[in-house]
A = this chain, B = another copy of it.
């Protein structure tokens, strides 16, 4: 069991990861939030609820009111939010109510956003069930939904009162989702934790076999990195931007494929390969480091092939919300274990990086 503290100007709470958390949720929530209110909601997906609903309910004397979000980005919408808010009102929710977001990243983002805007804000707990949600999206208070124009364009910063990441739940996670989630751990290592990079290089079999010791170590290190960055820059005004390594191109890939072909982590994997290319060209990493990190990414692959053309992908990077006032910001690794943000990425660099990445992505890796 690892406990990692998030401590920002607007919120302080623990992220706990380990085994056996799900069956003991209620007392854990009471410990941080006090006596459970009259209405406790759980937002979840039908799949997760079918697999883990019984374990979830074990520690509650009064079962929470269940709200369902159908799976997939296409349900991460304002319409879903409105429907769920109305269900919460109808079920008697009030300003004292508490919400538990029990699912993957989409459930976490939508659940957090519901909690942020229901009656101008209620408390919530994140109980992430995917690797990606455990190491990344559940920590940091970012919540929101998509618009037809792009991903995560609407939302709030609203921190949970606790994050409880039970690694046992990963037992039912499809292999592809695990591998995709591990891309964010690779990112964590690249930008802040070279010992995590080495651990992931040396223990890829154990991690991919879901050895619980290895998995817990990677998850805790990833969360520690994320929490450390969030603690120093809650609102993404500076340092927090380094968390977007691989995300400018990654989001563009997701957008150009209409969120239908790749998992988020997979898109970030390809996006990191584009970033490594720029970093090497700018000499912020050596050729050997670039090759080593590229190998690590493929070690946790395979990343799906892409049938995209560079101009389309480059156009899609323009709508990324990390661009403040049109400046072309881009995150680059600095050696292994550090990263920085450049604001002067040229079209030529972006074009070269995207072309390099697409040439790798054209066919399955031997």
| Contact of A1 with B by CB under 8 A | no
Q: What separation, in Å, do the CA atoms of A116 and B120 have in the docked complex?
A: 11
Q: Are A82 and B325 in contact (CB under 8 A)?
A: no
Interface centre among A82, A90, A157 (most CB of B within 10 A): A82
| Contact of A261 with B by CB under 8 A | no
Q: What separation, in Å, do the CA atoms of A10 and B110 have in the docked complex?
A: 24
Q: Within the oligomer, what is the number of copies of this chain?
A: 2
Q: What separation, in Å, do the CA atoms of A131 and B117 have in the docked complex?
A: 27
| Contact of A70 with B by CB under 8 A | no
Partner of A153, one of B89, B147, B325: B89
Partner of A155, one of B81, B120, B321, B324: B120
Q: Are A147 and B82 in contact (CB under 8 A)?
A: yes
Q: Which residues of B contact A142 (CB under 8 A)?
A: 120
| Contact of A65 with B by CB under 8 A | no
What's the minimum C-beta distance from A143 to chain B, rounded to whole angstroms?
Answer: 8
| Contact of A46 with B by CB under 8 A | no
Partner of A147, one of B37, B86, B121, B143: B86
Partner of A157, one of B118, B120, B149: B120
Which residue of chain B has the shortest Cβ distance to A322 in the bound complex? B95
- Secondary structure at the A interface, as helix, strand, loop or mixed, is mixed
| Contact of A38 with B by CB under 8 A | yes
Q: Are A325 and B90 in contact (CB under 8 A)?
A: no
What's the minimum C-beta distance from A52 to chain B, rounded to whole angstroms?
Answer: 29
Q: Are A85 and B117 in contact (CB under 8 A)?
A: no
Q: Are B96 and A324 in contact (CB under 8 A)?
A: yes
| Contact of A156 with B by CB under 8 A | yes
| Contact of A154 with B by CB under 8 A | yes
By the criterion of a CB under 8 Å from any partner CB, how many residues of chain A are at the interface?
A: 39
| Contact of A94 with B by CB under 8 A | yes
Q: What separation, in Å, do the CA atoms of A310 and B177 have in the docked complex?
A: 58
Q: Are B95 and A149 in contact (CB under 8 A)?
A: no
What's the minimum C-beta distance from A129 to chain B, rounded to whole angstroms?
Answer: 24
Q: Are B156 and A116 in contact (CB under 8 A)?
A: yes
A87-102 with Cβ < 8 A to chain B = 89-90, 94-96
Q: What separation, in Å, do the CA atoms of A155 and B95 have in the docked complex?
A: 12
Q: What separation, in Å, do the CA atoms of A81 and B113 have in the docked complex?
A: 15
Q: Which residues of B contact A157 (CB under 8 A)?
A: 120-121
> Can you sample 8 A-B contacts with CB below 8 Å?
A78-B82, A79-B82, A82-B147, A86-B148, A89-B153, A94-B325, A96-B325, A118-B153
* A residues with CB within 8 A of B: 10, 37-38, 78-79, 81-82, 85-86, 89-90, 94-96, 116-121, 142-144, 147-150, 153-157, 319, 321-326
19 new A-B contacts at CB < 8 Å, known A38-B325, A89-B319: A37-B325, A78-B82, A82-B147, A85-B153, A86-B147, A86-B149, A89-B147, A94-B325, A95-B322, A96-B324, A96-B325, A116-B156, A117-B154, A117-B155, A117-B156, A119-B153, A120-B155, A120-B156, A120-B157
Give the 10 A-B CB pairs with smallest separation, nearest first. A78-B82, A89-B149, A96-B324, A96-B325, A120-B155, A119-B321, A38-B325, A117-B154, A95-B324, A86-B147
